[in-house]
Amino acid sequence: GAVVSQHPSWVICKSGTSVKIECRSLDFQATTMFWYRQFPKQSLMLMATSNEGSKATYEQGVEKDKFLINHASLTLSTLTVTSAHPEDSSFYICSATPRGRVNTEAFFGQGTRLTVV
């Protein structure tokens, strides 16, 4: 199956600093990638849709200036949490679907545990 690699798997940062999370599709191209946030024992909340070569589409209530998304190539999307605060601590997961494949499932990264202290 297709592989999505997410890095880092965990990160601890100080309040006020920024953190970048990378999501790479290793063996396929993805025009679109998705970023989710998951709170403990809860479902995935879609934050934004990352579109290669254009601006990301954010879900209602998600601050686009806080969560910067860049999708510079067909295999890489990045999520930068800017001026992180403790309430940003969460589990962040990306996913991607191979370009042009209509009936396929989405493939997920391993997730990133962000802890802001």
Partner 1 sequence: AQSVAQPEDQVNVAEGNPLTVKCTYSVSGNPYLFWYVQYPNRGLQFLLKYITGDNLVKGSYGFEAEFNKSQTSFHLKKPSALVSDSALYFCAVRDIPYSGYSTLTFGKGTMLLVSP
Chain residues in the site for partner 1 (CB under 8 A): 1, 4, 6, 10, 31-32, 34, 41-44, 46, 49, 51, 91, 93, 95, 97, 102-103, 105-111, 113
Q: Please, what is the minimum distance in Å from the beta carbon of residue 24 to partner 1?
A: 13
> Which candidate, 13, 92, 105, places its Cα nearest to that of 50?
92
Q: Please, what is the minimum distance in Å from the beta carbon of residue 42 to partner 1?
A: 7
Look up residue 45 and give its two tokens.
Answer: 């909340």
Cα distance between residue 56 and residue 65, in whole Å: 11
Identity of the residue, 46 or 62, whose beta carbon is nearer to partner 1 in the bound complex: 46
Identity of the residue, 13 or 82, whose beta carbon is nearer to partner 1 in the bound complex: 13
Antiparallel, parallel or unpaired: β 32-38 and 19-25: unpaired
Q: Please, what is the minimum distance in Å from the beta carbon of residue 44 to partner 1?
A: 5
